[in-house]
Structure 1
Amino acid sequence: FSKQKEWPNQISVTYQEEKLENEIEDNGIEVGKISIRFSDATTADVKGITQFILPSDEKEMILIHNTHRTPQSLVTKRLAPYTKECLQSSAQLMSSEKHYGGGRAQMAQDFLDQLKEGVYLLKTEEHVLYDSLEHEKKRVYQTEVQYDKKTGTPKRKLSSIKEYGITVADAAITDVDYEDKVDQKLVKIIDAVTKSSISKQELMTAQQQTLTAKAKGEQALVEIEYQQKQDQTKQVVEAETKVKVAEQDKLQQKIAYEGSILEAKKIKELADAQAYARSRIMQADGALEMKLKAQVEVQKVWAEAFSKYTGAVVPQIQTGGGTTQNGALNFMDIMTAKTAKDFALDLKNKN
């Protein structure tokens, strides 16, 4: 009769505790924390869990059973070492500083890829880098993956679990505990980065303030220039307006002047016409009107003089039948005759 051995469908390899616990609990075995070494020769303890799926094929399970006999043996002799190898290979691809600075996801991805497909074949390259903390150049040996030149895919070791039909369901790195010197170095880096960040921020703030001041100054200059242009434009417009007003006034004065000349000509022509008419009238009536006016004035003069005469106008005594007249009457006759003679007065109409 053959013996029967019960195997689980899945086996979880956990590495959370300080030491190995070679007992299956919830289809999982604790193998203890795994120590890794980064490319800069610093170390760390890793915690995590990897889930493996055992094959459903009978022949493959018989092969596993014949090789390991028990699940504990399978874990301790094959699954745990394979997990550790894949984890250490992933750690060699970066420094502890790089891992801390954002390489955790990349390390987890490399770890899972190697678990499923096989461990990478690695090579070491020498690089000279500048250490910003110690301010000196250092030789750094960088571990890199070897790639197939034809296919461009990573070169790998033959997977030690694929030949048994074992596959990987999932893998997770839950914690990485760096050694003390890494923590001290990271503290210095963080402090330096913080100071650098503060300095950069202060510089950016100063630059921003400078740019702001410059922008405000330029804006003020633009506003001043704009206001000056506005004032200049206003002055130009006012000057042009004054010129146009002056030109308009000049035009109006010219029109008024020309109008006054025309009016003067009109008045002169009217006066000339009236004078001509009067001269013609005077020629026609012998300057009768003027002569009459002159006669009136003369008569007024001697009439006034005569009014002051105190003698008798009519003789008080007449002798004989002579025609002897009074002196006053003779004066009146003489003045009348003289005036008529002076003006050549002819009271008759010359029609």
Structure 2
Amino acid sequence: MLTFFGILILIIGVISLVITPFFNSSKALAWFTKTRSLQLIAFGFVLSVLSGLLFYAEPGTAYAVQYPWGSQKAVFRQGIHTKMWGRLIPIQFELPIKYVIPDSEGDLGEQSQYANVDKAKYWAFSDAVKARIATSVVISINTVDEDQFLSVADRNKTERNLIRSRIIPNIDQSIKNTCKLMDAQDYISGQASDFDRYFKDQLENGMYVLEEYITNESVETIGDSMTIRTITNNKESKQKRFRIKKINGEPVRERGNSLKSYGLTVIQAVVTEIDWESTFDKRLQLQKEEVAQTQLEKQQAEREFYRAQKETAKGEAEKATERAKLEKQQIQKTIEAETRAKVAEFNLIEERKKYEVAQFKAKTQKTMADAQSYENAKLVTAGLTPQERAEWEYKTSVNVARELKDLRLPQIYFESGGKQGEQGNLLQNLIGAELAKKMLSKPSSKR
């Protein structure tokens, strides 16, 4: 711009210097004196030279300066630097590249002069579902290796050409390969993070080499363990899929197709939005409704399950209460039965003691009866009945005392020369004989 203004001022000064001598009388050209024309020429020359001699490096931008004599240099710092009428190739430190889904009016939204924004394209997933994929990618250039930066700048000439010919084709190829690795249903079912990971890895390290393989449709089993039914679709039982080709566990990549070879680093590569085709949107809506219905039925089933559990628990509680009540009654009856058994046992022991006492009494009575019978037998043997013997004993006990009172023994008796014990026996025999004679005589006299 300065060069343009400088050259313009220089031309005006030269023209004024040439035509001023021929129009001295013109009032319109009175201001353009010879001195002023020379000043304009000098100012225009300096201005045009100054713009080609120096340039201002903006912050966040790297410059490749290519001099007229064939040398070049890289400028990474902001400020004023020498240009020496050389060529400048400015490239930003970070290159934002965005794919945006336009609105209903086709507007891409607010744009930035430092970002490269394009309309999002349609891409087909493995199951042939198409969608517009909006991405946000940020690429960083190499500001450490000056030679590599100059090589990239020299081969691509401009920043726009670098983006259009190198970066965007890699982004498109990465999206295409990543879409082949999964179904649309897989993406919305939780593999969105895998999509971002595959996308960024291919951008930075190179495109995957994909290989085809055939998958058999899994057999769907319906029913319980008693009735098994399977559903298969013979027309779609086999499906062609793609997967990453690997050798020794490492993915095989295409050679020479990597941003890393240009000294570019992927700082960010994410999918910001996906606009599915209308048919898939309808399918998603039906799936959402089906999922919502399934969740509702699941909640109802869980509610019924917990209600059944509650009723079961309530029944178990009532059963436990009834069991405790019956066990209490059982314990009470058991205790009563044990008490009666103890009482009966004690009664049995008491009766046994009574029986033993009665046995002892009976034995005693029997012994006494046997003794009495023996005695009676002796008396009978002696000629006396028991009655008579009893009467005799009574009378003897009564009359002995009386007769002893009136008994008059002989004044003179003879004793033998026996011992003293024999004398006592003789006396007793005499007394007994006398008494017996009196007692026997009295009853006979009464009769």
Shift of 1:123: 2.4
Shift of 1:96: 1.4
Counterpart amino acid of 2:129?
T
Shift of 1:162: 2.0
Shift of 1:175: 0.9
Counterpart amino acid of 1:107?
F
The equivalent of 1:44 in structure 2 is 131
The equivalent of 1:299 in structure 2 is none
| Contact 1:122–1:145 (Cα < 8 Å) also in 2 | yes
CA distance in 1, matches of 2:444, 2:283: 147
Q: Kindly indicate whether residue 340 of structure 2 is the aligned counterpart of residue 248 of structure 1.
A: no
Task: Kindly provide the CA deviation profile for residues 278-302 of structure 1, in whole angstroms up to 9, marking residues without a partner as x.
Answer: 986752222989xxxxxxxxxxxxx
Q: Percent identity over the alignment?
A: 21
Shift of 1:242: 0.9
Kindly tell me: are residues 44 and 277 of structure 1, through their superposed partners in 2, closer, same or farther at Cα, counting changes over 3 Å? farther
**Runs of 4+ residues deviating >6 angstroms:** 260-270, 276-279, 341-345
Task: Kindly provide the CA deviation profile for residues 133-190 of structure 1, in whole angstroms up to 9, marking residues without a partner as x.
Answer: xx862346353323333x2111111333222111111222111111111110011112
CA distance in 2, matches of 1:110, 1:144: 14
Q: Kindly indicate whether residue 208 of structure 2 is the aligned counterpart of residue 120 of structure 1.
A: yes
Q: Kindly indicate whether residue 283 of structure 2 is the aligned counterpart of residue 283 of structure 1.
A: no
Q: Secondary structure at the match of 2:91?
A: coil
Counterpart amino acid of 2:150?
I
Q: Secondary structure at the match of 1:6?
A: strand
The equivalent of 1:306 in structure 2 is none
Q: What is the correspondence of 1:1-351 to structure 2 with a 5 Å cutoff?
A: 1=68, 2-16=86-100, 18=102, 25=112, 27-56=114-143, 57-129=145-217, 137=233, 138-139=236-237, 141-149=239-247, 151-158=248-255, 159-217=257-315, 220-221=318-319, 223-225=321-323, 227-256=325-354, 258-259=356-357, 282-286=395-399
| Contact 1:20–1:32 (Cα < 8 Å) also in 2 | no
Alignment root-mean-square deviation, CA: 4.0
| Contact 1:93–1:142 (Cα < 8 Å) also in 2 | no
| Contact 2:207–2:258 (Cα < 8 Å) also in 1 | no
CA distance in 2, matches of 1:205, 1:262: 82
Aligned length: 288
Q: Secondary structure at the match of 2:142?
A: coil
CA distance in 1, matches of 2:243, 2:359: 114
Counterpart amino acid of 1:59?
D
CA distance in 2, matches of 1:208, 1:284: 108
CA distance in 2, matches of 1:93, 1:196: 29
| Contact 2:214–2:238 (Cα < 8 Å) also in 1 | yes
Counterpart amino acid of 1:36?
W
Kindly tell me: are residues 254 and 20 of structure 1, through their superposed partners in 2, closer, same or farther at Cα, counting changes over 3 Å? closer
CA distance in 1, matches of 2:179, 2:392: 141
Gaps of 5+ in 2: 1-67, 69-85, 221-230, 372-388, 403-441
Kindly tell me: are residues 288 and 106 of structure 1, through their superposed partners in 2, closer, same or farther at Cα, counting changes over 3 Å? same
| Contact 2:90–2:159 (Cα < 8 Å) also in 1 | no
Task: Kindly provide the CA deviation profile for residues 254-297 of structure 1, in whole angstroms up to 9, marking residues without a partner as x.
Answer: 33454577689999999x9xxx99986752222989xxxxxxxx
| Contact 2:213–2:243 (Cα < 8 Å) also in 1 | no
- With 37-46 and 123-132 compared, the bigger mean Cα shift is at 123-132
Counterpart amino acid of 1:5?
I
Q: TM-score by structure 2 length? A: 0.54
Kindly tell me: are residues 281 and 161 of structure 1, through their superposed partners in 2, closer, same or farther at Cα, counting changes over 3 Å? same
CA distance in 2, matches of 1:278, 1:112: 147
The equivalent of 2:18 in structure 1 is none
Task: Kindly provide the CA deviation profile for residues 37-67 of structure 1, in whole angstroms up to 9, marking residues without a partner as x.
Answer: 1111111112221111111222222221122
Gaps of 5+ in 1: 290-340, 346-351
CA distance in 2, matches of 1:69, 1:139: 53
Shift of 1:113: 1.5
CA distance in 2, matches of 1:74, 1:129: 45
Shift of 1:89: 1.5
Structure with bigger RCO (C-alpha 8 Å, 6+ apart): 1
| Contact 1:282–1:288 (Cα < 8 Å) also in 2 | no
Counterpart amino acid of 1:53?
S
Task: Kindly provide the CA deviation profile for residues 320-342 of structure 1, in whole angstroms up to 9, marking residues without a partner as x.
Answer: xxxxxxxxxxxxxxxxxxxxx88
CA distance in 2, matches of 1:33, 1:343: 169
| Contact 1:78–1:160 (Cα < 8 Å) also in 2 | no
Q: Secondary structure at the match of 1:4?
A: strand
CA distance in 2, matches of 1:8, 1:77: 16
| Contact 1:34–1:84 (Cα < 8 Å) also in 2 | no
Kindly tell me: are residues 141 and 71 of structure 1, through their superposed partners in 2, closer, same or farther at Cα, counting changes over 3 Å? farther
Q: Secondary structure at the match of 2:162?
A: helix
CA distance in 1, matches of 2:151, 2:392: 164
CA distance in 2, matches of 1:26, 1:50: 16
CA distance in 1, matches of 2:363, 2:396: 26
